[in-house]
């Protein structure tokens, strides 16, 4: 009976308990999220390097460990995005004059505000998803990253699919940065229309075509009683923020619009990767529990149950639709940033034999040139259970070979199908190996219990 209750609990999506832990008991027994053992996220790796005296973080008077930390984690300062709304754990130190700065690369997010006692970090572990840390801004002989549990209030709920995840809000604020309404939209992700994004954020750069009313960035609410009645023309394109913020305290006087677009795409993609990881592992654990109950012993899975296959497919399709930009909000383009972010971002990641990359921007009608997320190369993607990766490879082959007649994939342009298939085949060895497998071997991998 207890196992049956646990199984039904898992099928509901599993809300975390009211304790300090992120996951329920059964979920934790499978995911081991709270465990400090075997952490492989970039911050945990950096901590070990600090302890082994391989890396030394430098402390500066005005910014503490910020600059040195970004260098150690290989996060470009050009990724800086500035939030002036008081909607984070650093709200007491956030204002329109001293906004909170966010920095990121493919695997880590850093939050810093002037005079705040600590730096916030979210670091993506290949198996556990987002791990939350703080770093004290007091100078130490050996700086220590401390894992946090009180982030649950904001970072686990319906907007993160009830798993630990990232959030971003678009809210109307007063001239002091105080929110005066519930969020205009949950702006995390490339599916939210531009007109609803970036309330409470600074935005530098231009979205040509509707520059004066395309988004809610750079705008304050004049009348708290009618927060939605804002003059969007006040949110015109800004080249920099030198006369707006206490700029000497920051690494840049910009909050680059292209960096913001990438940040939003990537953050939700990470949430969906976490969901796909957890859902697959929990489905397999349910199958193992059933097998143990039937045989009285723990045995190797030989075939996925119908329930597990459906659960994996559902999470996989949700990830695929987002990964392939099927519901991306269009750009009015061309979009122009104000920092070196575009060039620095495009230089990263693998390329195919013709020099093409999934990191190439379009910035006219859509964010990227090729409709497939560059996070297919990330440790978070590679950390997906083999069963989920098998399903994704099967579907990607179907979609890009033109054998998927249904929406939302049928409308992908033929040139996009061909080019993405070629790029993935040349730059993702596991996908190339999948394409080389006989058809019966691929089918067996998606119906059986192929395990890592």
pLDDT tens-digit series, residues 326-353: 999 999 779 999 999 999 999 998 999 9
Mean pLDDT within 426-449: 82
Judge contact between 26 and 10, C-beta under 8 A. yes
Distance CA 441, CA 356 (A): 30
Q: Would you call 111 helix, strand, or coil by DSSP?
A: strand
Give Cα 442 to chain centroid, integer Å. 29
Tell whether the model's pLDDT for residue 184 goes beyond 50: yes
Mean pLDDT within 369-388: 98
Residue with tokens 């119906």: 447
Q: What is the pLDDT of residue 162?
A: 82
Distance CA 429, CA 426 (A): 7
Q: Which two tokens stand for residue 348?
A: 């990263």
Q: pLDDT above 90 covers what percent of the chain? A: 66
* pTM, rounded to two decimals: 0.90
How does 354-387 read in b/e, with b if 16+ C-beta sit within 10 Å?
Answer: eebbbbbbebeebbbbbbbbbbbbbbbbebbbeb
User: Whole-number mean pLDDT of the chain?
Assistant: 87
Q: Where are the alpha helices (DSSP H) in 296-361?
A: 306-323, 341-346
Q: Which two tokens stand for residue 239?
A: 């080249």
Give the tens place of pLDDT for each residue, 262-301. Answer: 999 999 999 999 999 999 999 999 998 888 877 766 555 5
Give the tens place of pLDDT for each residue, 234-243. Answer: 566 789 999 9
Distance CA 449, CA 303 (A): 5
Q: Do you find a cis peptide bond into 11, omega within 30 degrees of 0?
A: no
Mean pLDDT within 63-81: 98
Distance CA 194, CA 215 (A): 6
Give the tens place of pLDDT for each residue, 400-423. Answer: 998 888 899 999 999 999 999 999
Mean pLDDT within 12-27: 59
Higher-confidence residue of 145 and 9: namely 145
């Amino acid at each position: 009976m207890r196992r049956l209750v646990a199984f039904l609990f898992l099928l509901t999506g599993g809300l975390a308990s009211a304790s300090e832990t992120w996951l329920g008991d059964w979920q934790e027994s499978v995911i081991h999220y709270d465990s400090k053992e075997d952490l492989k996220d970039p911050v945990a790796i950096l901590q070990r390097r600090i302890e082994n005296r391989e890396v030394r973080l430098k402390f500066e008077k005005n910014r503490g460990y910020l600059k040195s930390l970004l260098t150690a984690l290989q996060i470009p300062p050009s990724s800086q995005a500035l939030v002036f709304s008081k909607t984070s754990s650093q709200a007491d130190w956030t204002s329109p004059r001293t906004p909170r700065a966010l920095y990121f690369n493919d695997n880590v997010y850093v939050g810093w505000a002037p005079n705040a006692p600590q730096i916030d970090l979210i670091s993506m572990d290949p198996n556990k998803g987002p791990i939350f840390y703080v770093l004290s801004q007091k100078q130490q002989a050996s700086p220590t990253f401390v894992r946090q549990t009180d982030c649950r209030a904001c970072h686990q709920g319906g907007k993160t699919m009830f798993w630990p995840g990232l959030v971003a809000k678009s809210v109307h604020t007063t001239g002091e940065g105080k929110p005066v309404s519930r969020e205009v939209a949950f702006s995390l992700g490339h599916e939210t229309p531009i007109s609803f994004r970036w309330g409470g954020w600074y935005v530098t750069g231009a979205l040509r075509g509707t520059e004066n009313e395309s988004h809610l960035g750079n705008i304050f609410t004049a009348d708290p009683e009618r927060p939605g009645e804002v003059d969007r023309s006040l949110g015109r394109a800004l080249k920099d923020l030198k006369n707006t913020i206490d700029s000497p305290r920051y690494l840049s006087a910009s909050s680059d619009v292209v960096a913001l677009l990438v940040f939003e795409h990537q953050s939700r993609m990470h949430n969906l990767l976490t969901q796909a990881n957890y859902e697959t592992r929990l489905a397999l654990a349910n199958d193992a529990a059933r097998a143990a109950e039937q045989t009285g012993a723990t045995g190797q899975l030989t075939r996925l149950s119908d329930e597990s296959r459906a659960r994996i497919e559902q999470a996989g399709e949700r990830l695929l639709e987002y990964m392939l930009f099927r519901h991306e909000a269009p750009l009015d383009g061309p979009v122009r940033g104000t920092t070196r972010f575009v060039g620095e971002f495009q230089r990263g990641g693998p390329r195919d034999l013709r020099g093409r990359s999934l990191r190439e921007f379009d910035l006219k009608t859509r964010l990227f040139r090729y409709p497939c997320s560059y996070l297919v190369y990330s440790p978070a993607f590679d950390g997906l259970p083999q069963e989920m990766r098998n399903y994704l490879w099967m579907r990607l082959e179907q979609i890009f070979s033109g054998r998927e007649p249904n929406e939302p994939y049928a409308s992908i342009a033929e040139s996009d199908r061909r080019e993405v298939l070629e790029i993935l085949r040349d730059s993702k060895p596991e996908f190339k190996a999948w394409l080389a497998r006989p058809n019966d071997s691929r089918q067996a991998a998606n119906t059986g219990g192929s395990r890592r």
